[in-house]
Structure 1
Amino acid sequence: MVLSELIRSAMHDGPRLQLTVGDDWLQGRSLFGGLQAAVAVAAMRSQVPAGLPLRTLQMTFIAPVPAGEVRAVAQLLRSGKSAVHVQARLEDEHGELLALAIGVFGSGRESRVSREPVLAAAETAAAATPLPFLPGVTPNFMQHFRVSLHDGALPFTGRPVLANRFEVGLREPAATSEWHLLAMADFVPPVALSWMDTVVPGSSLTWMLEILDDDYRSQPAAGWRVDADLVAARDGYTSQSTWIVAPDGRPVALSRQSMVVFA
């Protein structure tokens, strides 16, 4: 089931949300992190005035979220004049915590401070290397994406690169929703995996996403540029910073991710 259909299939009961997710969205033993984020934010929306933009999302991945029945429960933490803080818990059937997210939703305001991010020029499409979905080899969730590498190195190629540049899109003809943006922002694998010359496991610990421009819904859910930079690495833990750029060239979001690599 494609992402938009999946989220719309969710059953809502006040702050609680429940949906059934198939194995096609797995990333190893757990649901793809971008889908976990989309489910968490969908639950948060029950506590937020309609149309209020998501500004930041912080997420901690605590335990694997298996396929099957996925449950989320939202809690309003604070509602101020312009910003609303909401927490969402992804839980198992016993109420055990699997992932925790905090979102901040806020209205815009007049400000004398304005600065547009400046990114390096994108590589030409002629240099792109497609990332195919290979059943039994690549994670299941990749079948829902159309991805190509424009600069850097693929995972497990033994190349110590510091940055990877991708073009990312979903395999559904749709405009970019909040759910699509979250999924594409979390797609890219750890840059550190490109250093490995054999397949080794890796996992996200925490993820933070800042929405820089909330005017993205007219953009297609395809042809997005995602630039990932390895900022630091030590003792098996890595820090990665990622720009998410709309097809029209506007930087829409910035993420920061802490990951662990088992090699």
Structure 2
Amino acid sequence: MTALKTILDTLTPHDGGWHTDIPADWLQGRTAYGGLSAALALHAAQASDSDLPPLRSALIAFVGPLSGRVSVRAERLRRGRNAAYVQADVIGEAGLGLRATFVFMAPVASTVDHRIDRGSAETPPTADAAVYRGHPAVTFSRNFEMVDATIAPGAGWRRWVRLAERNGLDPAVELTAVADCLPPAALRLIGGPAPVSSMTWQLNLLGPPAPTRDGWWLLDSDTDYAHQGNSSQRMTVRNAEGLVVAEQMQSVALFG
């Protein structure tokens, strides 16, 4: 399997952006795994400007398939005193595959300090846990180590997930790569494998990204709505201490 750091290190400057090749072991069907494409876009966005504040939010549209040689471009949309908006595109042989808007924002003084405690009683995997490397039939997932956790009520998934090779990664890039790792929650409703495609993804970080213990993140995904081939799902990411570090939402097309 190809380490994410290896892919990032092969980004080569080209015509105002960068290009690289998507390894076959990071494919999800006929396209690159969404977390990889988003991580490439974020890496390019971070490199496009100097002294950016921490990542706070990512708005991602999965426009088309990405495989083989891709180019990545990033440009500043606006930079104010506290926040910077950067757009990044990942373009493949078939055209635009991903468009992302990243919001980087420094802490600001505020009288509001409101946080809902939604910690988890789940404990991170121990040395003797039943760890497995993804699913044999899902190519990209073999880059991750996983441990099944107690499934939350409703239609969804809950797993501990970490990159099998994660050394040298920026914490925000690592979190972005991991956060999209669960199958679409609506597959629980379908009851088995079916063609699906993520259309949009919003990732909100609830604080400056930081590494988690032993690389483990607890991912949750639940379906709010599924009708006429479209589903909407809510997702969370917790660190090894059980604290929610990111909230997410995805729109997913269902073809089954």
2:189 corresponds in structure 1 to 195
Please, which runs of 5 or more residues in structure 2 have no aligned partner? none
Matched, 1:151 2:145: no
TM-score, structure 2 length as denominator?
A: 0.88
Distance 1:57 1:26 in 2: 22
For 1:99, the aligned partner's letter is: L
Instruction: Give 1:112's aligned residue.
Output: 111
1:171 paired residue number? 164
Structure 1 range deviating more: 3-12 or 240-249: 3-12
What are the superposed Cα offsets for residues 240-259 of structure 1, whole Å, 9 maximum, x if unpaired? Answer: 11111111222111111000
Q: How does 1:102-251 map to 2 (within 5 A)?
A: 102-119=101-118, 121-123=120-122, 132-135=133-136, 137=137, 139-152=138-151, 161-172=154-165, 174=167, 177-217=171-211, 219-220=212-213, 222-251=215-244
C-alpha separation in 1, matches of 2:170 and 2:160: 15
RMSD: 2.4
Query: Normalised by the size of structure 1, how large is the TM-score?
Result: 0.86
Cα distance in 2 for residues equivalent to 1:163 and 1:120? 18
Partner-residue secondary structure (3-state), 1:151: coil
Query: Is residue 27 from structure 1 mapped to residue 21 from structure 2 by the alignment?
Result: no
Greater CA deviation, 41-50 or 79-88? 41-50
Counterpart among 222, 238, 257 of residue 250 in structure 2: 257
Q: Helix, strand or coil: the match of 1:152?
A: coil
CA distance in 2 between partners of 1:11 and 1:103 (Å): 22
The Cα of 1:149 is off from its aligned counterpart by 2.2
CA contact (8 A) 1:48 1:105 kept: no
Measured in 2, the distance between the counterparts of 1:252 and 1:134 equals 26
**Identity %, equivalent residues:** 31
Contact 2:63 2:96 in 1 (8 A): yes
Matches within 5 A, 1:21-60: 21-60=22-61
Preserved contact between residue 55 and residue 209 of structure 2 (Cα < 8 Å): no
Report the secondary structure of 1:116's partner residue: coil
Q: Per the alignment, in what secondary structure is the counterpart of residue 179 of structure 1?
A: helix
SS at 2:121's partner residue?
coil
- Does the aligned pair in 1 maintain the 2:54–2:209 contact within 8 Å? no
For residues 45 and 98 of structure 1, what CA distance do their matches in structure 2 show?
19
Deviation at 1:131, TM superposition (A): 5.6
1:215 shift after superposition: 4.3
Letter in 2 for 1:167: W
Instruction: State whether residues 172 and 221 of structure 1, in contact with CA within 8 Å, keep that contact through their aligned partners in structure 2.
Output: no
The residue type paired with residue 100 of structure 1 is R
What count of residue pairs does the alignment treat as equivalent?
Answer: 251
State the SS of the aligned residue for 2:235: strand
CA contact (8 A) 1:237 1:259 kept: yes
Contact 2:196 2:254 in 1 (8 A): yes
Verify the 8 A CA contact 1:167 1:225 in the aligned structure 2: yes
Which residue does 1:156 correspond to in 2? none
Alignment partner of 1:72 is 2:78:
no
Preserved CA contact (<8 Å) 1:73 1:88:
yes
Instruction: In structure 1, list runs of 5 or more residues that go unmatched.
Output: 154-159
CA positional deviation for 1:14: 7.9
Once residues 96 and 235 of structure 2 are traced to their aligned partners in structure 1, the CA distance between those partners, rounded to angstroms, is 27
The 3-state SS of whatever aligns with 1:49 is coil
What SS does structure 2 have at the residue aligned with 1:200?
coil
Q: CA 1:121 to 1:44, structure 2 compared with 1: closer, same or farther past 3 Å?
A: closer
Contact 1:9 1:19 in 2 (8 A): yes
CA gap of 1:81–1:39, structure 2 versus 1, over 3 A, is: same
The SS at the match of 1:86 is strand
Change in Cα spacing, 1:215 to 1:181, as seen in structure 2 (3 Å) is closer
AA in 2 matched with 1:74: A
Q: Which residue is equivalent to 1:88?
A: 88
